[in-house]
Amino acid sequence: MITAEIITIGTEIVLGQIADTNAPYIAKALTEKGIQVQFRTSVSDDRELLKSVLKIARERVNLIITTGGLGLTASDVTREVVSEFFGVRLVHNKDACIHIQKFMEERQVRLMDEHDRQALVPEGALVITNDNGTATGFALYYNDKEIVSLPGVHTEMKSMLNKYLEVYAFNKREEGCIVSRDLHTFGIRESVVADRVKKCILRYQIIKNITNNSSHRKAEQKLPHDTIVSQGQVQSMTLVHNGVVTIELLATAGKREDAVSLLDRAEIDIRMELGDAVFGVGDETLEYTVTALLRKYRKTIAIAESCTGGLVSDKLTNIPGVSEFFLEGVVAYSNKAKVDILGVPRELVLEYGAVSPQVAKAMAEGVRKRASSNIGIGITGIAGPTGGTKEKPVGLVYIGIVTDNYAEVKKCQFRGSRIDVKKFSANTSLNMARLQLLHQDSILF
C-alpha cells in the first residue's frame, strides 16, 4: 500500500492568516487513487524547518506531496531545499523555460530575472507544467521514495496535481486500492449516526469474514448471495458541519472493483439503518436534493425569511435550473414587512411576538399565497448575539412549512454565533422541504 504525507508550506498558513484549502483537496484526490494519506503537516517558509519536516516524512511514508514555496520571492525555498535534501543538483529545464516565456508573452507581461528560478528543477525529476502560472512543479523518485512539489496557488495546484495523478502517480507500485465515498445525513446527532454506522459496518465485516473463511462454507451458503464479497475492509468516520453529518467511508481491497463493491454493500446497509436521514452522496447538498425532488414531483416552492436574511434563497439559487421550481424569496426582516408584504395579521405579531410559531406559519402561508406555489416556508428567530430573553433566548428559531392540506411548525434552539444560527436554520428549512417532498404521496397537495 502506498502511504503519503502532505506538507503545506507557508508562514501565513501556520499563523492562521489564511485557510489551508490545498491539503484537503490533495488528500481526497490521493485517496481516490488508492494512496493512503497518513499525515498532513504545515511548516513555515524556513529552510531548516522544511528540512526537518522532510526528514520525518521520508522515514514514515512512500510519497511526499508539498504545496507552496515555488514562487518568485526569496522566501520560496522549496526547490532548493528538496534538491539539497535528496542530494541532487538543480538544473534549468528547457521545456519549463520555454513555457514560462510563452506564458508571459501571451499576457504581454515583462519577463523578470526572478522567473529564471522557476525553471529550476532537481536533476532527473519529472517536470509538471503549469497551465495557469509560471511556477514549475516536479516529481522526483529517489531511493524508493517519491516527492512531488506543487505551487501553493490553489487553481494552479489542482490542475498540476490532477495532471500528475493521471500521468505518473506511483502507477508502477499498485499493491492495493482505497476507494472513498461520502454519505450526507441530516436530523440525527453525530454521536448517534457514528454509533449506528459503526454497528452496520461491524455487522457487515462479521458477515464478510464468515464468507471468506473456508471453514465456514455451510454458513456461507446460508447467506444471501450479495453479501459474499472479496476480501477487504470498510472503515468509517463522521464529520459535522452546520447540522449536516457526513459519513466518510473508506474501502480497501486488492482491486478497485472489489473496493467499490464493498462500498456499495456498506451504503445499502447504512441507508437501511438511517432511512430518510441520508439525503446525498459525494457533492450533493441539501439544496441540490430539494431541487431534484421539486423537479421529480413537479412542485414549486416559495420562501419567507426573517433571521436567515435570504440565505435559503441564496442556497437554492446556486442550483442551475431551480428557477422553474423556486418561485419567490422574500426577506421580511421587520415586523412591518411581515405584515405589509406577507400579510401576517398584525394582531399575531402583537399578541405572540415576531418570533413565534404563529408568525412562522403565517409567513409560510403568506409567501405561498403571494407566489401561488405548492410549498411555502417561513423562518423567524433570534440570531443574536443580543435580543434574547429568558422566554425567548438567542438561537430560538421557528420554521413553518405549509401546503394545501398540511402545516407544520418546528421549534429549534440552535447554539453558536449569529452566522451559525443562520446556517443551521437554513439547512433545517431545506431538510423540512426535503422530507415533505419525500412523503408527499401520503400528503395531499
Q: Which of 234, 261, 281 is the last residue of a domain?
A: 281
If one compares 231 and 343, the residue with the highest pLDDT of the two is 343
pLDDT of residue 72: 85
Q: 228 and 326 share a domain?
A: no
Q: State how far the Cα of 64 lies from the Cα of 4, in Å rounded to an integer.
A: 6
Is the confidence at residue 167, as pLDDT, over 80? no
Q: 165 and 187 share a domain?
A: no
Is the confidence at residue 191, as pLDDT, over 90? yes
In 3D space, the residue among 54, 73, 40, 72 whose CA is nearest the CA of residue 140 turns out to be 54
pLDDT of residue 85: 93
Q: 290 and 260 share a domain?
A: no
Q: State how far the Cα of 309 lies from the Cα of 331, in Å rounded to an integer.
A: 6
Q: What share of the chain has pLDDT > 90, as a percent?
A: 69
Q: Which of 281, 305, 320 is the last residue of a domain?
A: 281
If one compares 202 and 21, the residue with the highest pLDDT of the two is 21
Q: State how far the Cα of 150 lies from the Cα of 161, in Å rounded to an integer.
A: 7
Instruction: Calculate Rg over the CA atoms of the chain.
Output: 27
Question: DSSP class of residue 221?
Answer: H
Q: State how far the Cα of 116 lies from the Cα of 139, in Å rounded to an integer.
A: 19
Task: Lowest mean pLDDT of 210-224, 326-340, 345-359, name the range.
Answer: 210-224
Please state the rounded mean pLDDT for residues 322-340: 97
Strands lying side by side in the sheet with 407-413: 326-331, 301-305, 375-381, 396-402, 407-413
Question: DSSP class of residue 83?
Answer: H
Q: State how far the Cα of 52 lies from the Cα of 296, in Å rounded to an integer.
A: 56
Q: 169 and 181 share a domain?
A: no
pTM: 0.74
Number of domains in the chain: 3
Please state the rounded mean pLDDT for residues 360-380: 98
pLDDT in tens, 261-302: 999 999 999 999 999 999 999 889 999 999 999 999 999 999
Q: State how far the Cα of 392 lies from the Cα of 360, in Å rounded to an integer.
A: 15
Q: State the helix-helix crossing angle for 418-438 and 286-297, rounded to 10 degrees.
A: 30
Question: DSSP class of residue 302?
Answer: E
pLDDT in tens, 138-155: 999 888 899 999 999 999
Q: How confident is the model at residue 172 (pLDDT cuts 50, 70, 90)?
A: very low
Q: State how far the Cα of 424 lies from the Cα of 187, in Å rounded to an integer.
A: 11
Phi then psi for 219, rounded to 5 degrees?
A: -65, -40
In 3D space, the residue among 216, 215, 208 whose CA is nearest the CA of residue 258 turns out to be 208
Q: How far apart are the first and last CA of the chain?
A: 54
pLDDT of residue 300: 98
CB atoms inside a 10 Å sphere around CB 98: 12
Specify whether the CB–CB gap between 342 and 367 falls below 8 A.
yes
Give the type of residue at 149: S
If one compares 176 and 117, the residue with the highest pLDDT of the two is 117
Identify each DSSP E strand in 74-196 by its residue range.
Answer: 90-92, 120-122, 126-128, 137-142, 145-150, 177-186
Most confident stretch, 137-141, 396-400, 403-407: 396-400
pLDDT of residue 441: 60
Is the confidence at residue 226, as pLDDT, over 50? no
Q: 237 and 298 share a domain?
A: no
Q: State how far the Cα of 331 lies from the Cα of 329, in Å rounded to an integer.
A: 7
For the chain, the average pLDDT equals 89
The CATH number linked to 99 is 3.40.980.10
The CATH number linked to 218 is 3.30.70.600
Q: 239 and 314 share a domain?
A: no
pLDDT of residue 180: 81
Q: State how far the Cα of 382 lies from the Cα of 415, in Å rounded to an integer.
A: 11
Q: 7 and 76 share a domain?
A: yes
Q: 85 and 221 share a domain?
A: no
Q: 295 and 420 share a domain?
A: yes
The CATH number linked to 407 is 3.90.950.20
Q: 166 and 196 share a domain?
A: no
Is the confidence at residue 62, as pLDDT, over 80? yes
Q: 255 and 344 share a domain?
A: no
Strand 301-305 and strand 326-331: the pairing is parallel
Q: How confident is the model at residue 258 (pLDDT cuts 50, 70, 90)?
A: confident
Q: Which of 213, 247, 281 is the last residue of a domain?
A: 281
Q: Which residue segment(s) compose the domain that 7 sits in?
A: 3-173
Cell output for 268: 445499502
